[in-house]
Structure 1
Amino acid sequence: MASRAAAALVVVALACAAVHSAAAGLSPDFHAVSCPDLEHIVKYHVAEAFRKDVGVAPALIRILFHDCFPQGCDASVLLTGNNSEQGMGPNLTLRPVALNLIESIRAAVHRACGRTVSCADLTVLATRDSLVLAGGPHFDVALGRRDALAPASQDLVFTLPAPSFTVPELLKSFGDRNLDKADLVSLSGAHTFGIAHCSSFSDRFTPDVDTNPAIDPNFAAKLKAKCAKDVPAGTVNQTLDVRTPDVFDNKYYFDLIAKQGLFKSDQGLIVHPDTTRMATRFSLNQGAFFEQFAKSMVKMSNMDLLTGSQGEIRFNCAVPNSRVEGIETASDEGHAAAM
């Protein structure tokens, strides 16, 4: 078992290295000279946050996905102020604990190394490290991203796939971003930990054979009873994975087989002919899931990047440099201070 796990990690590392080499402007050693302690600093701060709240791991993965999918991994989702992505529907429930962690890491890295590392790079590194702490696969991260000067437009933000999407809608949404079926099925596996609000899965209570896959009746009854107490709305949380809600593993796919997928977009993966074979395979083989998830995370984190002289390296992850007043003070402010 141990030898198979080690072999799987070698495959993941080799696959990720191949993708890295294709990402123009990125390099695993990009900050080796300018910030040799970068990964140690990030790892320390992530570990401290995870020790206090394991929910920071799924919160970071969600931030990364919501950053990368609309217009690329450029830390635009971290920006606050007018037209902020955080003020738009898909991002209203991004967790402040994770947003603040990224800014805390930025401040620590810039104190140690100067303003050499972007918030975009820090977001990818922090997400990777939190994933490993939660039990997920390690993968190498190529660096050299730069930060966006402005938020993504509302039209781009609303290209994020919704929990109510059917599998054909998901395949088109991912395909429009050059992500394929394997990316869809594996990245959906990030729902193996984390929480959701009742409003995001209320459509599961009225299954329709054509648009809404069946839900286990006992599971549905428990969810209905729980959500009946959701007053005011948004005060009740439900774990996405009912088996191991705080661990990154393949139990999410077990949930789907048992008709206990919380979102319609999740449950559809196990019954739709285009995705059922891969989802079933991941339920039987955690190593296969981990290998594909790592590849897909690398692929996603390398989409539509700003590199070289494009964009900027922010003084504060929540504020474009053009808005910073009193740079020396702003460089030590936290994310919350800019909100």
Structure 2
Amino acid sequence: MARSSGNVHVLLAMLVPLCAATAWTAAAAAAAAGPLLPLPDLQTTTRTMNENDTTTGSLSADFHALSCPDLHGIVRSAVQAARGQDVQVTAGLLRIFFHDCFPQGCDASLLVDKTDPGSEQNVEPQNKGLNQRALQLIESIRDTVHKRCGERSVSCADILAVATSHAVNLAGGPFINMQLGHFDSVGPAQPWQVQTLPAPNADVTTLLNTFAANGKGFDNPIEVVALSGAHTVGKARCSSFSDRTIRPNPNDNFAKELAQFCGGDGNRQRNLDEITPDSFDNSYFLDLIRRKGVLTSDQGLANDGRTGWIVNVFANDQGNFFEKFAQAMEKMSRLTSPGGVKARRNCLKRDAGVNLQTTVVAAGSGDDEGLAASA
């Protein structure tokens, strides 16, 4: 997520406060009663920032157009080469992007490697089995970009966002218009922040409440279903769905199949998409309708009235899924961290001598140095 990205419960869970339940129940009833209609566009406009809000208005898709005009070409070429060696790089980047952005904003804090005692990569089960090839790829791209465009010209967080977009596109999915201009954190997020990532066995209510409670602006049930569609690529360790395999429901034939597949080995890996596991398409939703969702949190989306009708729409209309997925991912790319440096010198390491508590950043254009000033 070759080496797999492991428990890709990355973008599974997404978003939605239950205050909109009445409106969406009505929409679900309408969808069940008649033809499946295109879903409305998601709201991606930037909101006013408050103390509990991690969105910002300082980002733009063309942030590096002048400072690093070759950015997209460099990144796409590198991702394409990496996929030639390990097709699971796409799933790996998707998981890393989500697990980086959700705890404290898109700031490349997750990339600080396991040798750092505070590394987010050491927090389990949330970050167990991250795709090491994908992590190394980001640092390799940073090295090329900084040699071509100047040291600290593009943040590791922005490189991760651009690489994820191209990885999805190269796998057959939409191009995501990621918002750029992020600063890099000078250190990892706190364990309690990482632990806010939703578990692979979470029910739909928990998923919706988790995303609604963190002030990130994901308040539409279409987003939870669209983002879960990232599981159309990648694999999950058997330990991620052991709740279904240890004592499989005798009425759940697929759970019994999963139990037989795992054979008690929690590290064995199963494709999350049974039909086309290496392609980014809508077959994941067809699996859910067939009751072949591997993770409890995935199958729950098809079984719950608040989200099941959206699963049906995406299963019948790949273009609609692509559009909503790209919108939701672009929205996630707007999540920012409150402090950091313009770009770390090494994506996998902290910058020496920089303290998180004394680092302040001010968002500027993609062309000025904008390096953080220490208090």
TM-score for both structures, normalised by structure 2? 0.76
CA contact (8 A) 1:200 1:263 kept: yes
Q: CA deviation at 1:223?
A: 1.9
CA contact (8 A) 1:198 1:238 kept: yes
Distance across 1 between alignment mates of 2:145 and 2:209: 39
Structure with more helix by fraction: 1
> What residue number does 1:106 align with?
142
Does residue 149 of structure 2 align to residue 120 of structure 1? no
Q: What letter is aligned with 1:167? A: V
> What residue number does 1:204 align with?
244
Q: CA deviation at 1:140?
A: 1.9
Q: What letter is aligned with 2:131? A: R
> What residue number does 2:102 align with?
69
* Residues 1:27 and 1:306: Cα distance change in structure 2 (over 3 Å): farther
Match of 2:312 among 251, 264, 280: 280
> What residue number does 1:260 align with?
292
Secondary structure, counterpart of 2:270 in structure 1: strand
Q: Deviations over 1:72-127 (max 9, x none)?
A: 10000001201100000111211101000001000010111112100000000000
After TM superposition, list the pairs within 5 Å mapping 1:40-119 onto structure 2: 40-80=73-113, 81-89=116-124, 90-114=126-150, 115-119=152-156
Structure 1 runs of 4+ off > 6 angstroms? none
> What residue number does 1:314 align with?
344
Q: Deviations over 1:42-100 (max 9, x none)?
A: 11100100111110001000000000111110000001201100000111211101000
CA RMSD of aligned residues (A): 2.4
CA contact (8 A) 2:234 2:272 kept: yes
Unmatched runs of 5 consecutive residues or more in structure 1: 1-7, 209-213, 325-339
Distance across 1 between alignment mates of 2:225 and 2:325: 9
Q: Determine what percentage of the aligned residue pairs are the same residue.
A: 46
Q: Deviations over 1:282-317 (max 9, x none)?
A: 11111111111011001111113458xx43310000
Match of 2:179 among 138, 142, 165: 142
Q: What letter is aligned with 2:285? A: Y
> What residue number does 2:359 align with?
none
CA contact (8 A) 2:56 2:336 kept: no
CA contact (8 A) 2:180 2:333 kept: no
Q: Deviations over 1:16-55 (max 9, x none)?
A: 7x569x9421122221222111111111100100111110
Secondary structure, counterpart of 1:322 in structure 2: coil
CA contact (8 A) 2:244 2:259 kept: no
Q: Deviations over 1:191-220 (max 9, x none)?
A: 111001110011123467xxxxx9751x33
TM-score for both structures, normalised by structure 1? 0.83
Secondary structure, counterpart of 2:352 in structure 1: helix
> What residue number does 1:222 align with?
257
* Residues 1:306 and 1:28: Cα distance change in structure 2 (over 3 Å): farther
* Residues 1:215 and 1:323: Cα distance change in structure 2 (over 3 Å): farther
CA contact (8 A) 1:216 1:260 kept: no
Match of 1:187 among 219, 222, 227: 227
Q: What letter is aligned with 2:143? A: A
Distance across 2 between alignment mates of 1:183 and 1:227: 31
Distance across 1 between alignment mates of 2:251 and 2:147: 51
Unmatched runs of 5 consecutive residues or more in structure 2: 1-37, 48-54, 355-375
Q: What letter is aligned with 1:220? A: A
Q: What letter is aligned with 1:254? A: L
Distance across 2 between alignment mates of 1:182 and 1:207: 30
CA contact (8 A) 2:112 2:347 kept: yes
Q: What letter is aligned with 2:238? A: C
Q: Deviations over 1:232-259 (max 9, x none)?
A: x42x211001111111111111111111
Distance across 1 between alignment mates of 2:61 and 2:296: 38
> What residue number does 1:133 align with?
170
Secondary structure, counterpart of 2:176 in structure 1: coil
Does residue 334 of structure 2 align to residue 302 of structure 1? yes
Distance across 2 between alignment mates of 1:64 and 1:276: 26
> What residue number does 1:327 align with?
none
> What residue number does 1:157 align with?
194
Secondary structure, counterpart of 1:135 in structure 2: coil
CA contact (8 A) 2:345 2:351 kept: yes
Q: CA deviation at 1:141?
A: 2.3
Q: What letter is aligned with 2:179? A: A
Secondary structure, counterpart of 1:277 in structure 2: helix
Secondary structure, counterpart of 1:91 in structure 2: coil
CA contact (8 A) 2:273 2:283 kept: yes
Secondary structure, counterpart of 1:203 in structure 2: helix
CA contact (8 A) 1:215 1:261 kept: no
After TM superposition, list the pairs within 5 Å mapping 1:27-46 onto structure 2: 27-46=60-79
